Amino acid sequence: HPPITPAKAVDPQSIADPTHRKIYTLVVKHYLACCSRDAVGRETEITLRIASEEFAAKGLMILEKNWLDIYQPWEKWYTGQGELPRARIGSRIVPTSLAVSAGQTSPPQLISEVELIALMDRNGIGTDATIAQHITTIMDRNYAE
């Protein structure tokens, strides 16, 4: 359904009550965002080569923010992997900083037998006759509890 339509232009600073000011600002920004163009972006993977090392990053490359510019701070386009700089295939990127972080990998969390059977079934591993043997081997190797 259509958004609430502001009937009169008002300077938000002229609204004395802070709650009323915030509501007015939200209504106006929501209305304008609904009338704006869609945001345009791509989930992208970037591979960087620095000397002989190769680094990969996955994330969102926003090409046009459009309504997102208007509706800040209430809405962000987020894929969970971060925003990447706009780049063309084969272009050169100059990093603004480089950092090396110390750390170590850790094994994935152990899964239960029920979760294991569900994963095996979903991925077509084993048959009714062989699942028990697969699970015994997995349990013997402490891959699952």
Q: Is 20 helix (H, G, I), strand (E, B) or coil?
A: helix
**What mean pLDDT do residues 35-53 have?**
86
Give pLDDT tens digits for 70-82.
Answer: 888 877 777 666 7
The answer to whether 42 and 86 have CB atoms below 8 angstroms apart is no
Nearest residue to 59 (alpha-carbon basis) of 80, 38, 76 = 80
pTM: 0.48
Q: 49 pLDDT exceeds 80?
A: yes
